[in-house]
Amino acid sequence: MKKIAIQLVHPNYGESRVNKALINAVENLENVTVYNLYEKYPNYKINVEEEQKILLENDVVLFQFPLYWLSSPSLLKEWLDSTLTYNFAFGEQYLLEGKKFAIATTAGSGTKEYHHEGSNKLPVEEFLNPFIGTASYTKMDYQDPFVTYETFVLSDEQLETASANYVKYIQTLAS
């Protein structure tokens, strides 16, 4: 079973009903470790050595975050810029080569807004293209994302279903 590092990147995690439920569903699974980046780095001062060690110790790196203005929260960009250094993630050495790179994201809007004729004009997956590029550039294996829609209006039953599906997604990544 592969080891999975979930890099949780949510600036308002304490108030998040959906991301909390998803994390609660998977945090005790075997070989899964959750790292709350906003808790670790409230001042955006990334400990590069520690983060690179985490990457090397895991087979799967999953970034979980809410879509903020059709992108990730700013700390994730800082984390990527700081952690994926030359001769670690790219250059003459590709130390992350072959590791799985995955995204779990939440969106307040529904699927009808995320298509070519919806209000956002693109599917969520297309807003994630920079992450596909990052995975490719570092020779990591990009996985299809896990997306939870309509987070503001999910019923408790729908949230339970999403959480159960997230467990299955994580288990598939670990196999």
Cβ proximity of 162 and 154 under 8 Å:
yes
Query: Where residue 170 sits, what CATH number does that domain have?
Result: 3.40.50.360
Q: What pLDDT, on the 0 to 100 scale, is given for residue 125?
A: 81
Domain of 54, in residue numbers: 4-174
Kind of pairing, strands 60-66 and 4-8? parallel
Q: What pLDDT, on the 0 to 100 scale, is given for residue 107?
A: 87
Look up residue 54 and give its DSSP letter.
H
Q: How many structural domains comprise the chain?
A: 1
What is the C-alpha radius of gyration for the chain, rounded to an integer number of angstroms?
16
Q: pTM for the complete prediction?
A: 0.94
Average pLDDT for residues 44-66, to the nearest whole number? 98
Round to whole Å and give the CA distance between 47 and 49. Answer: 6
Round to whole Å and give the CA distance between 131 and 53. Answer: 20
For residue range 101-144, list pLDDT tens digits in order.
999 999 876 676 655 665 556 666 878 999 999 999 999 999 99
The strand pairing partners of 163, in sequence order, are: none
The pLDDT of residue 54 is above 90: yes
Percentage of residues of the chain with pLDDT beyond 70 = 91
Round to whole Å and give the CA distance between 52 and 138. Answer: 13
For residue range 24-51, list pLDDT tens digits in order.
999 999 999 999 999 999 999 999 999 9
